[in-house]
Amino acid sequence: MAVLEKIRVKFGILISVVIALALLSFIIDPNTISQVANSMSSEYRVGKINGNAVSYQDFDKELNDQNRIFEIMYRRNASSDQEMDYVRNMAWQNFVDRYMFLPNAKKAGIQVGDAELVDLCSGNMVSPMVSQLFVDETGAFSTEMLDNFIKNMKYDQSGQSQMIWKYIQNTVLTSQYYTKYNSLFTDSDFINPLMMTNEIADNNNSVNVEFIMLPYGYQRDSTIEVSDSEIRAYYKKHKKLYRQSVETRDIEYVVYEVKPSETDIADANDKVVKVYDEFTSTENVRNFLMKNSDRQYVDEWYGKGELRTVFTGIDDFVFDAGNKTGAVSPVLTKDNTFYVARIMDSAMIPDSVFVKGILLQGVQTDLADSLLNVIRTGKDSFENVAAQYSALNNPQAAEVGDYGWMTKNSIYPGMESVFTAKTGNLYIIDTQYGKHIVKVTDRTEPVLKKKVAILEKEALPSGNTINDYYVQANALATKADGKYENLVKTVDEEGLALLTRNALRDGDENIGSIDDRTKEISKWAFDAREGKVSNVLNINNDYYVVAALKKVHKKGYIPVEEVASSINSILYAEKLGEKKAAEVAEKIAGLGSMEAIADSLGTSVSTREHISFSSYMNQGLDPKFIGAVSVAEEGVISAPLAGSIGVYVYKVTARESGASFTEDDVKSRAAQMSYYDTQSLIPVMMQDAKVEDNRARFF
């Protein structure tokens, strides 16, 4: 009984925990427990900033918010790779600001008060971001537009206005912290009068010099040795230069680019030829192209030169003076793509128009027509109707005002008809955002433009062609059998190209000649072991890659063994310079003229004028030589100088003082250095905060 009592006392807590977990397993779904565990695991962590973990769920929520803001601001979803990267970077930057920059700025004593934020957003010192968003027809900041936006926010049932305003406030707030923090450095970085005078004098002094240079040559001197102890001593002294901030990988790989075969190219050409006659005569070009073309019909006016982005041959045909509406080109070829162009219409169209408009969201056609009629009949002006409609505080009145200058590349979708509308005419346009009452008030000079239908067919690799390339890549991976030495042997036997990519980072998207997104390769490399060879890696069905992980480079100080070769080269160059300088000194001992020295060395004397130590002058000379002659005594032949590319003997023949380097140059250089300093602030902060960015693992 005593033993049982001890067990109960010592293990009572443990038993209680086990029982509690067992009971919880009946209550909580095991998948829920798994999800919680996953959220706490570093494997599911997008990043870590200043000790704060950024989970996938947190980042995904922030990403959704940024996507929504992008959609509202640009009236479309982020769709291209560049746009998606932009949104992800904005989401990540918000975490960096929240967990790293803002705490550091506040620790430095910086504050942005509520009253200051109000002034920046809508008061007496409006932020540039706000002033650029709310502008009138002249492009100037409009307090009226800003006031109307804030006033009408409460009537926006969609919540978009409130989201944008919160985004503006947060951006302005963070920007002000950055401005104040950077000013701590820029405003304290000043040049006093003595520094100004010295820098002007230093950069206006120049020298004329006679010199002899004996190049080192490219053949290695076998008598010069660099020991391991010397390499380690140099590494220890310069260790800070060999710190790596992120993990990298060295890989070797064989790439098979999937290209269409001759049969594939011929098939594409046959498809175009087969439908050519129908394309020239069909009345429903849009439907025809949907069925037969890689490029769909766009109801758009093109000016001369704009179709060159598709193919120069198309632009040349369309804007040839002899080709009118209805003309059809012959089959044109560029690389492995075939084109036929048909001119659908021609007109004199302006490049840009100034549009005034009233956006009526959720408004019935009758009300829109009634408002239009009020303006057309002169019962009230466009501006008054717009103002009165806004003043109704109608929740459906989402936007009222000038739309500004519109071009083909900056226009609300669905409003293309404004380019052909007569100046001053009022009419209604239906778009995805609602009905618009619009009026074109100004336009640029009209130029000849044409609407063009383009039949396009690219020769793509067929299934058989793709399979042939995969079979080749898979055969290589099979022979390698996951081992690096097998890969090297097979590559040598079959005469394949084994390519190298060193310092590959997690998430790198471009590797060598592969210009597509190649995260698949970097993801494999960061999951693999050294010496491992991959199976076939498929890059968008455009490339098949077999890769080998040659070397793993951990974050932190690079081991001396990995940089020994480069240190050896540095120390060898130093020793070679010392040896060559000593040999020259021995040969010229006792000689009193540059000509005599040149004769003894079997060379000639060169001259150079106006050598300046100014950092603004690219003089094409050895930096060590420039530094030495700038402080050398005039008229004195120097001792041999070991430069970067050879040994120098020189004599300054004259010194000159100019006035080309001014106070403005000093200030410009100081501003440049200050800019470099501020640009390094965030990287230094990130290093101190031990920022881990694992986004490439997820996106």
**CATH code for position 231:** 3.10.50
pLDDT at 512: 80
Say yes or no: 368 and 423 in one domain: yes
Give the domain-ending residue among 535, 554, 573.
Answer: 554
CA 106 vs CA 101, 113, 362, 685: distances in Å: 9, 12, 46, 14
Of 632, 570, 633, 637, give the one whose Cα is nearest residue 601: 637
Is 191 within the bounds of a domain? no
Asked if residue 213 lies in contact with residue 607, where contact means CB atoms within 8 angstroms, the answer is: no
pLDDT at 667: 86
Say yes or no: 253 and 222 in one domain: no
Is 504 within the bounds of a domain? yes
Say yes or no: 21 and 64 in one domain: no
- Reported as a single tens digit per residue, the pLDDT across 323-360 is 999 999 999 999 999 999 999 999 998 989 898 887 77
562 vs 554: CA distance, rounded Å: 12
Say yes or no: 6 and 81 in one domain: no
Is 365 within the bounds of a domain? yes
Of 375, 370, 360, 366, give the one whose Cα is nearest residue 426: 375
Say yes or no: 439 and 373 in one domain: yes
Say yes or no: 133 and 144 in one domain: yes
- Reported as a single tens digit per residue, the pLDDT across 376-397 is 887 767 777 676 655 443 333 3
pLDDT at 325: 94
- Reported as a single tens digit per residue, the pLDDT across 528-541 is 999 999 999 999 88
Say yes or no: 573 and 645 in one domain: yes
Assigned token pair, 199: 């820098």
Assigned token pair, 281: 């005569």
Return the residue matching tokens 């042997």.
Answer: 489
Give the domain-ending residue among 554, 570, 595.
Answer: 554
Say yes or no: 619 and 542 in one domain: no
Say yes or no: 266 and 325 in one domain: yes
pLDDT at 614: 66
73 vs 93: CA distance, rounded Å: 18
How many residues can be counted in the chain? 699
Residue 376: CATH number of its domain: 3.10.50.40
**Does 33 have pLDDT greater than 80?**
no
Is 682 within the bounds of a domain? no
Task: Give burial (CB, 10 Å; 0-12/13-18/19+) of 261.
Answer: middle
Number of separate domains in the chain: 7
Is 670 within the bounds of a domain? no
Give the domain-ending residue among 554, 578, 600.
Answer: 554
- pTM, rounded to two decimals: 0.61
**Phi, psi torsion values for 241, nearest 5 degrees:** -80, -10
- Reported as a single tens digit per residue, the pLDDT across 200-226 is 887 888 899 999 999 998 889 999 999
Domain range for 74: 57-107
- Reported as a single tens digit per residue, the pLDDT across 435-476 is 888 888 899 899 999 999 999 999 999 999 999 999 999 999
143 vs 131: CA distance, rounded Å: 9
- Reported as a single tens digit per residue, the pLDDT across 550-592 is 999 988 899 999 999 999 999 999 999 999 999 999 999 999 8
Say yes or no: 342 and 410 in one domain: no
Asked if residue 559 lies in contact with residue 223, where contact means CB atoms within 8 angstroms, the answer is: no
Asked if residue 195 lies in contact with residue 663, where contact means CB atoms within 8 angstroms, the answer is: no
Is 685 within the bounds of a domain? no
Is 219 within the bounds of a domain? yes
Say yes or no: 341 and 279 in one domain: yes
Say yes or no: 548 and 470 in one domain: yes
Asked if residue 248 lies in contact with residue 490, where contact means CB atoms within 8 angstroms, the answer is: no
**Does 19 have pLDDT greater than 50?**
no
Is 673 within the bounds of a domain? no
Mean pLDDT to the nearest integer, 368-375: 81
pLDDT at 17: 38
